[in-house]
Structure 1
Amino acid sequence: MSSKDLSKQIITLVGGEDNVNSVFHCATRLRFKLKDSRKADKAALEKTPGVITVVENSGQFQVVIGNNVSQVFEQIMKETSLQDAEKSGKADESSESTSVLGKAVDIISSIFSPILGALAGAGILKGLLALILSLEWINAASGTYLVLNAASDSVFYFLPVFLAVTAARKFKANQFVSIAVAGALVYPAVITAVSAPDPLSFLGIPVVLINYSSSVIPIILAVWVQSYIEKWFRSFIHESVRNILVPMFALLIVIPLTFLAFGPVGSLISDGLASGYTWLYNLSPLVAGAIAGAFWQVFVIFGVHWGFVPVMLSNIATLGYDTMLPILTAAVLSQAGAVFGVFLKSKNPQLKALSGSSTLAAVFGITEPTIYGVTLKLKKPFIYACISGAIGGAIIAIGGAKAISFSLPGLLALPTYFGDGFSWVVIGIVVAFVLAVILVYLFGFDDPAVPAEEAPGPVAASSPSLIDKETVASPLTGTLMPLEALPDEAFASGAMGQGIVIEPDSGRLTSPVKGTVTTVFPTGHAIGITSESGAELLIHVGVNTVKLKGKHFDKRVQEGDKVEQGQLLLEFDVAAIREAGFVTATPVIVTNSANYLDVLKTTEAKVQNGDLLLTIIN
């Protein structure tokens, strides 16, 4: 299908031009903001030749095309009256028709997703420290414990400060003013005054002091109001003194309001969420566990799982524990079991390979590649996983297991569940995993047929020349990760092709092959190269870095340039991109890997520019 025909087909299947609020594109996908996503025919789009997959995320309807996305986008611009939302500055605007729930989920995900890694890592460390302490391997009065406890607890104690940064980015407020507001909430003198017997007042108004360390909602409310206050003052204060007076007035107004209003109100909301969840859980732990275990991955598919993160954090902050996280581990392990069952049962080599790699990712809590790439597409394995997750979750809930700190549900989170009910957690996740494997293996699924041209045939032992290979050098210096670990399901699922991910140590990106530069995205964050032998490679720096609009990227080549292996293609500022809140993990993908027998990855943990990275078997 030509780019012109494909563009017409896509516009028709997203509901027509009248259903599109805005559209722009990144290196691999068209990103639509639709007026009514129900009018889009997602199933038909995914079956359209030229469309790799369709992803709905953060209010965007994303149609993954691949390297020729720019040509398809150009045709859309020619054939319609739509404008490039990236150039017009409307790429991040929310549709007016977005539901209240959708907007709430978008806000929560934007605020919490950048810090989930730090929260999960600190939570696991906190659980391990509690385990070590209970085994009396360390003395609570020792300096070693003091340092390790500070390392594990600082993220949670200063959680308002972390949330101030991400909330300021979301609400477009001054980050440093937001951090100052959060700093006031956990200011040592304020924390001390909480336990003091004498009441405090501000200008004669009584102040209800609360310990805001580990709190969630008060700082989010404060930064939201701060964004409007700053906008109002900027509208009339002269630019010569704007950078001084606007922060001053914001601090002068927001911090007292936080102590007088936002803090107490936010604390009441947090207490209400924790109490409400505890009440429902205590009505019937078995039913609560079964429902959470069965439907958690359904919530993940629709993105509404973000709404539970503040509840979990509120439970830990107010109750000292959370009972939801252990239950959700059963839901995660059931998906791992289902995809492992697919691995054992399938006769399709590509599905078998994808299932094997997805199993490992799912065991450690990364289920998006499993869901989007395997179980949901096959339908029956996803249903078997939900059933297994319900049974495992009910077992864990009956045992009364608790998480003492936040973590991402998975095997790595087990130390955070140590204590009463821990044995029930182990039983519940084993049941969830094993039962899902058995259900998938016994009752099966519609296994995709192996195309005749891909069916393996005999290769004469005396004809080694029939097998040819091409090597791909590393374009970066850094640490290697499996593709499944990338927080972008379009890449992680393998839908874009086989490859590997590099977490860069530096921003010097060189050509992995001798060939021709076929794509240089205008923002510089992605480059496509075709080798002399025909291998098509895509190097995509980071995740969603298209939103930087070229900032921190310096292109050194243009489309059509002939390049040698090792030639400098791009330089980028790794530290600045990370400080802007973006993941810098860089996938190197063989986008036409379906044309080859296999793509082998190096077994090294780290690589330098020019080291062997991939071997393409013809």
Structure 2
Amino acid sequence: MSYEKLAKEIVEGVGGEKNVDSLVHCATRLRFVLKDNAKADKAKLEKTDGIITVKENGGQFQVVIGNTVPEVYAAIGKVSGILDESGSGSKEKEKSGKKGFGSVIEVISSIFAPLMGVMAGAGILKGLLLIASNFGWLDKAGSTYTILYAAADALFYFLPVLLAVTTARKFGGNTFTAVTIAGALLYPSIIELKNAGTAADFFGIPVIMMSYSSTVIPIILAVIVMSKLEKFCNRVIHESVKNFVTPLISLVVMVPLTLMVFGPFGVYVGNGIASVLLAAFSFSPLIAGAILGATWQMLVIFGVHWGLIPVFINNIAVYGKDGIKPAATASVFAQAGASLGVMLRTKNKKLRTLAGSTTLSALFGITEPAVYGVTLPLKRPFIAGIIGGAVGGAIIGQAGTQAFASGAPGLLTLPIFYGPGGQGFPGLIMGITASFLISAVLTYILGFKDPVEEEDTAKPAADKDNTPANAAGKVSDKASDKAFSPLSGTVVPLSEVPDPAFASEAMGKGVAIEPASGRIVAPFDGTVTVAFKKKHALAVVSDKGAEILVHVGIDTVKLDGQHFTSHIQEGDRVKAGQLLLEFDAEKIKAAGYHTVTPIIVTNSHDYADVLPLQQGQVREGDELLQIIGGNETEDSDKK
């Protein structure tokens, strides 16, 4: 996939660069704030290759991409000025017309989304340290533990500083002034004043000293007001002095104001919301857990879940743990189970492949592909996921499971729920297992309207003709073809490639080769259709119409062309065996990337089958793939 091509299509689809006020991304979505949503072509975007679906929630125009969203986000920065802080992408959406609850959710999501990746990583590390210390593998008094804990806890301790950055970007404030205000809240002498417990005042006005490490609301409120104050000062202060006078005024006004007003207010509000939710779990953890387990994915769909994330973080900061978030984990595993149920029941090959890959991503906490691509469109599987989530959430709630660090629920983040003595952790395992299995079984039993495969209309011809194409349930007008090995090495089945997109054959059938040399040659006579700018992959179409993609290594696009030398351009005519690309396998491995190279027939759906012709060692130019078309019998007779 060309990320830059997709980026251009997305920018055009949202109404052009001038229609974008801001853009952030989370784990799977591009979250646009548009000046006029009516200018966006939602229907066209939903049909664009590389886009799973498009949603309008919480004041945002959300383009769901999947796991490659960081690459697409970066590509948008290359093809447009949307990500330029001096451009429209950094400006506050002052005249958007978004009001009320929707605007609150939009603000929260924009502020927290950029931090979710590193927050999940730090949360996992914190959870693993909890397990290691509980089992005696690491001594809490040792320097190793201290160093690793600093790496895990620094984000949460200095969270006000990071939120100052994202809030300033959201509201167009000076980032460095915002960070300075956040730093003042965590300054050692301010902490000493709080710890001493003595009365504090500012020119005689009483100041209630609070602890601001890991807090959320105070710094967000402070930076929002600071941004407004800066705009006012910049309008009335002369150009010659405003560059230093405006920050001076902002610091002198905002630091005391935050300590006197925003700080105590934010802390009390955060604690109040947390107390209400905790009271609900105290009254009936089973019912509260069931409700959250059932509704979490619906909250995600509407973007409302962002409103609860500050509560989770606040609970961990104040109490050292959170008993609300664990129930949401059941909902994640429930949708994974529902997607698995679809995979097991459907007879549609394309849907089976999609459901299989989305099940895997959902197990690791990325549910959007499963929800938007599989369960929600089919309706009944989504309902099965709600039921499974309710049962799992009830079990987790009743078990009293706690979260001891932040992170998106999934297999990798399970350690964050393991606390002292492991209390409540078995209940979590029981709950997510129950939600996964119940959802999968219910989906399989309840069924759904299975999409009809496009080739089904050609099935009657199978009774009249036993050619391989017709036996597969379709008639193709593509002639049979053969591809020669584009490199030397060891043949590896696609199922063993460490990338679900290739391993699931979602991109097409073929094989992979672990390279023994650093040369890629043409697999047949044909035309170069794609020559990626990063040089890590290329595509050639044969004179008979077979399209071959050669992708050197996994995730090697991140090398940005390093260790690759291309000898072709798009549109070039090539002969079988002609040198197309060279690469340094050892340097690619040293950079931390797999070199296994998938060779895919990307238009496999146009053929009856694609059969590997080699096992074990293969040399450059050996026959590698037999591509069987609708006229295989005719071709065989000619031979």
Q: Matched residue of 2:241: which SS?
A: helix
Q: Which residue of 1 aligns with 2:54?
A: 55
Q: Which residue of 2 aligns with 1:233?
A: 233
Write out per-residue CA displacement over residues 378-425 of structure 1, whole angstroms, 9 at most, x where no aligned residue.
Answer: 111111011100011011101111111111111222212123211111
Whether contact under 8 Å (2:159, 2:216) holds in the other structure is: yes
Quote the Cα distance in structure 1 between the aligned partners of 2:340 and 2:407: 24
Q: Which residue of 2 aligns with 1:197?
A: 197
Q: Matched residue of 2:236: which SS?
A: coil
Partner AA of 2:349 in structure 1: P
Q: How far has the Cα of 1:51 moved from its partner?
A: 12
Q: Which residue of 2 aligns with 1:432?
A: 435
1:118-197 equivalence runs, <5 A: 118-197=118-197
Whether contact under 8 Å (2:529, 2:541) holds in the other structure is: no
Compared with structure 1, are the counterparts of its residues 599 and 204 closer, same or farther at alpha carbon in structure 2 (3 Å cutoff)?
farther
Q: How far has the Cα of 1:273 moved from its partner?
A: 1.4
Quote the Cα distance in structure 2 between the aligned partners of 1:99 and 1:22: 19
Q: Which residue of 2 aligns with 1:366?
A: 366
Q: Which residue of 2 aligns with 1:211?
A: 211
Quote the Cα distance in structure 2 between the aligned partners of 1:396 and 1:204: 50
Quote the Cα distance in structure 2 between the aligned partners of 1:494 and 1:95: 46
Q: How far has the Cα of 1:370 moved from its partner?
A: 0.6
Compared with structure 1, are the counterparts of its residues 309 and 598 closer, same or farther at alpha carbon in structure 2 (3 Å cutoff)?
farther
Quote the Cα distance in structure 1 between the aligned partners of 2:168 and 2:20: 26
1:364-513 equivalence runs, <5 A: 364-418=364-418, 419-452=422-455, 458=468, 466-469=480-483, 482=499
Whether contact under 8 Å (1:402, 1:417) holds in the other structure is: yes
Quote the Cα distance in structure 1 between the aligned partners of 2:157 and 2:424: 26
Q: Which residue of 1 aligns with 2:269?
A: 269
Q: Matched residue of 1:98: which SS?
A: coil
Compared with structure 1, are the counterparts of its residues 364 and 212 closer, same or farther at alpha carbon in structure 2 (3 Å cutoff)?
same
Whether contact under 8 Å (1:342, 1:355) holds in the other structure is: yes
Q: Which residue of 2 aligns with 1:571?
A: none
Quote the Cα distance in structure 1 between the aligned partners of 2:33 and 2:192: 51
Q: Which residue of 1 aligns with 2:562?
A: none
Whether contact under 8 Å (1:273, 1:314) holds in the other structure is: no
Q: Which residue of 2 aligns with 1:572?
A: none
Whether contact under 8 Å (2:31, 2:60) holds in the other structure is: no
Write out per-residue CA displacement over residues 257-282 of structure 1, whole angstroms, 9 at most, x where no aligned residue.
Answer: 11111111111111111111112222
Compared with structure 1, are the counterparts of its residues 161 and 63 closer, same or farther at alpha carbon in structure 2 (3 Å cutoff)?
closer
Q: Matched residue of 1:408: which SS?
A: coil
Quote the Cα distance in structure 2 between the aligned partners of 1:448 and 1:395: 35
Compared with structure 1, are the counterparts of its residues 170 and 34 closer, same or farther at alpha carbon in structure 2 (3 Å cutoff)?
closer
Provide TM-score, normalisation by structure 1. Answer: 0.68
Partner AA of 1:260 in structure 2: M
Quote the Cα distance in structure 2 between the aligned partners of 1:366 and 1:285: 26
Q: Matched residue of 2:275: which SS?
A: helix
Whether contact under 8 Å (1:344, 1:441) holds in the other structure is: yes
Q: How far has the Cα of 1:451 moved from its partner?
A: 2.0
Quote the Cα distance in structure 2 between the aligned partners of 1:406 and 1:62: 24
Quote the Cα distance in structure 1 between the aligned partners of 2:56 and 2:626: 32
Whether contact under 8 Å (2:53, 2:372) holds in the other structure is: no
Q: How far has the Cα of 1:171 moved from its partner?
A: 1.1
Q: How far has the Cα of 1:210 moved from its partner?
A: 0.8
Write out per-residue CA displacement over residues 159-190 of structure 1, whole angstroms, 9 at most, x where no aligned residue.
Answer: 11111111111111111111111111111222
Partner AA of 1:458 in structure 2: P
Give the superposed CA RMSD: 4.9
Q: How far has the Cα of 1:238 moved from its partner?
A: 3.1
Quote the Cα distance in structure 1 between the aligned partners of 2:601 and 2:239: 50
Give the count of matched residue pairs.
502
Q: Matched residue of 2:201: which SS?
A: strand
Quote the Cα distance in structure 2 between the aligned partners of 1:185 and 1:342: 51
Quote the Cα distance in structure 2 between the aligned partners of 1:25 and 1:113: 13
Q: How far has the Cα of 1:101 moved from its partner?
A: 1.9
Quote the Cα distance in structure 2 between the aligned partners of 1:190 and 1:448: 63
393-402 or 443-452: bigger deviation: 443-452
Q: How far has the Cα of 1:458 moved from its partner?
A: 2.6
Gaps of 5+ in 2: 1-12, 24-28, 66-80, 472-478, 488-496, 510-521, 552-565, 574-578, 584-599, 612-624, 629-639
Quote the Cα distance in structure 2 between the aligned partners of 1:617 and 1:410: 40
Q: Matched residue of 2:54: which SS?
A: strand
Q: Matched residue of 1:206: which SS?
A: strand
Partner AA of 1:268 in structure 2: Y
Quote the Cα distance in structure 1 between the aligned partners of 2:33 and 2:347: 36
Write out per-residue CA displacement over residues 328-385 of structure 1, whole angstroms, 9 at most, x where no aligned residue.
Answer: 1110001111111111111111111111111111111110111111111111111101
Partner AA of 1:56 in structure 2: K
Q: How far has the Cα of 1:49 moved from its partner?
A: 11
Compared with structure 1, are the counterparts of its residues 482 and 150 closer, same or farther at alpha carbon in structure 2 (3 Å cutoff)?
same
Q: How far has the Cα of 1:498 moved from its partner?
A: 7.4
Whether contact under 8 Å (1:333, 1:429) holds in the other structure is: yes
Sequence identity, in percent? 43
Q: Which residue of 2 aligns with 1:354?
A: 354
Compared with structure 1, are the counterparts of its residues 360 and 194 closer, same or farther at alpha carbon in structure 2 (3 Å cutoff)?
same
Gaps of 5+ in 1: 1-12, 66-83, 474-479, 486-492, 500-511, 540-555, 569-588, 601-614
Compared with structure 1, are the counterparts of its residues 593 and 203 closer, same or farther at alpha carbon in structure 2 (3 Å cutoff)?
farther
Whether contact under 8 Å (1:274, 1:318) holds in the other structure is: no
Q: Which residue of 1 aligns with 2:594?
A: none
Quote the Cα distance in structure 2 between the aligned partners of 1:268 and 1:36: 37
